[in-house]
Copies of this chain bind each other. A is one copy, B any other.
Amino acid sequence: MNFASDNVTGASPEIIAAIAAANHGPAMPYGADALTRRLEQRLAELFEHEVAVFPVATGTAANSLALACVAPVYGAIYCHEEAHIATDECGAPEFFTGGAKLVTCPGEHGKLTPEILAPRLAGAGVVHNVQPAAISITEETEAGTVYGPAEIAALSALARRHGLALHMDGARFANAVASLGCAAADVTWRAGVDALSFGATKNGALAAEAVVFFDPKRAASFGYRRKRAGHLLSKQRFVAAQLEAYLTNDLWLRNARHANAMAAQLGSGLAALPGARLLHPVEGNEVFVELGERAIERLAAAGFGFYRWGDAPVLRLVTAFDTAPESVASFLRVAREALLVGTATP
């Protein structure tokens, strides 16, 4: 019944089991354990590419550490104006980079395009201006949409022309890949992504993310930055265990497919209601819907959890690996009743 976020969930049973299974005997700390080594190999296979992998416990840490590796203290990082790094991390990118500037850009349905970005990439070589350093995109976006490989490739082409790195905040990367039905490589290095925050927490893990660099040279400073940020866990095997379980038997994709299917049901159900309007295509596990105050009140009164989005009567509804189909059906039923009453009332 809780559509507030995919982090109100607990963890997949497989993840809990993996933690318990990792709890046998001593292991070298700080990532010098066998599980962590194995994880790097697993991710190399998944991405079909050499990778440098750094497990951390939060998405904010993953994003900010990755950005700190690719942007100087006087750098400009271009992102969407609704990007999590810009709006929901209390200035973490500024902290980790030592003061680089996020340049926020508009973009329909949460997406950046070369047309939007190109005129903003100014000031290179001018000491009065922060220096263009990186583009950061979110996959799935903060609007619940998904960049296709060609869209990402167009952005990376622009990035290459200007000498910028391309970072991907993949807090919901699994939902995007599940939505596209493509290989993980197709929306990352094949499309020109340099560094990926590979999220697992929102999709079934307790607290596990991995920063993945496709060119290990870019990651030269990561280890030191992670340590001095307090993000090198001493018993790192327990993070690696989560990520290994997440990748085993496609748990990551199975979880994401379920969440996406629930969002699709929710979205199409709402779209069919009079007085409801979807703000963005439903491509992953998020639904943004304008509903009217009365319906919102009824839904809240019925015990559903969700966030209002901005000042308009708009809800963000997030589904997850454990969303019950009954919850979706129930939500749609309450919404329908509220809206029909709403329109029937003179």
Which positions in A face B, CB cutoff 8 Å? 1-2, 4-5, 7-11, 13, 16, 19-20, 22-30, 56-62, 64-65, 72-74, 87-92, 94-96, 98-102, 119, 127-131, 201-202, 206-207, 221, 223-235, 238-239, 305, 311
Chain B residues with Cβ under 8 A from A98's Cβ?
A: 73, 95, 98-99
Chain B residues with Cβ under 8 A from A231's Cβ?
A: 58, 61, 230-231
Q: Do A230 and B58 form a contact, CB below 8 Å, given A90-B130, A206-B235?
A: yes
**Bound Cα distance A8, B129 (Å):** 19
Q: Do A95 and B99 form a contact, CB below 8 Å, given A58-B232, A227-B127?
A: yes
Chain B residues with Cβ under 8 A from A30's Cβ?
A: 7, 127-128
Q: Given known contacts A10-B26, A94-B100, A128-B227, what 16 new A-B pairs fall within 8 Å (CB)?
A: A5-B29, A5-B234, A10-B22, A11-B238, A58-B231, A60-B228, A60-B230, A73-B225, A74-B227, A90-B228, A94-B94, A94-B228, A127-B226, A127-B227, A207-B238, A207-B239
**Bound Cα distance A24, B8 (Å):** 11
Q: Do A206 and B10 form a contact, CB below 8 Å, given A56-B230, A87-B129, A92-B228?
A: no
Considering only CB atoms, which chain B residue lies closest to A27 in the complex? Answer: B8
**Bound Cα distance A88, B123 (Å):** 10
Chain B residues with Cβ under 8 A from A223's Cβ?
A: 127
**Bound Cα distance A239, B201 (Å):** 14
**Inter-subunit contact B90/A94 (CB<8 Å):** no
Chain B residues with Cβ under 8 A from A127's Cβ?
A: 30, 90, 223-224, 226-227, 232
**Inter-subunit contact A26/B8 (CB<8 Å):** yes
**Inter-subunit contact B90/A74 (CB<8 Å):** yes
Chain B residues with Cβ under 8 A from A8's Cβ?
A: 26-29
Chain B residues with Cβ under 8 A from A128's Cβ?
A: 30, 87-90, 227
Chain B residues with Cβ under 8 A from A61's Cβ?
A: 229-231
**Inter-subunit contact B99/A94 (CB<8 Å):** yes
> Would you give the shortest CB distance from A58 to chain B, in whole angstroms?
5
- Residue pairs across A and B with Cβ atoms less than 8 A apart, 16 shown, are A9-B235, A10-B235, A11-B235, A16-B19, A20-B20, A59-B234, A72-B224, A73-B91, A74-B224, A87-B129, A90-B227, A91-B130, A92-B230, A94-B99, A101-B102, A206-B238
Chain B residues with Cβ under 8 A from A27's Cβ?
A: 8, 10
Chain B residues with Cβ under 8 A from A60's Cβ?
A: 227-228, 230, 232
Contact of A16 (CB < 8 Å), options: B20, B91, B130: B20
Q: Do A230 and B64 form a contact, CB below 8 Å, given A7-B29, A8-B28?
A: yes
Contact of A91 (CB < 8 Å), options: B1, B59, B87, B100: B100
Chain B residues with Cβ under 8 A from A101's Cβ?
A: 91, 94, 102
Chain B residues with Cβ under 8 A from A89's Cβ?
A: 128, 227-228, 230
**Inter-subunit contact A74/B233 (CB<8 Å):** no
Q: Do A230 and B229 form a contact, CB below 8 Å, given A9-B26, A100-B94?
A: yes
Contact of A95 (CB < 8 Å), options: B73, B202, B221: B73
The 7 A-B residue pairs with the shortest CB-CB distance, nearest first, are: A61-B230, A94-B99, A60-B230, A7-B234, A10-B23, A90-B228, A74-B224
Q: Do A74 and B57 form a contact, CB below 8 Å, given A127-B224, A223-B127, A234-B201?
A: no
Chain B residues with Cβ under 8 A from A57's Cβ?
A: 57, 207, 233
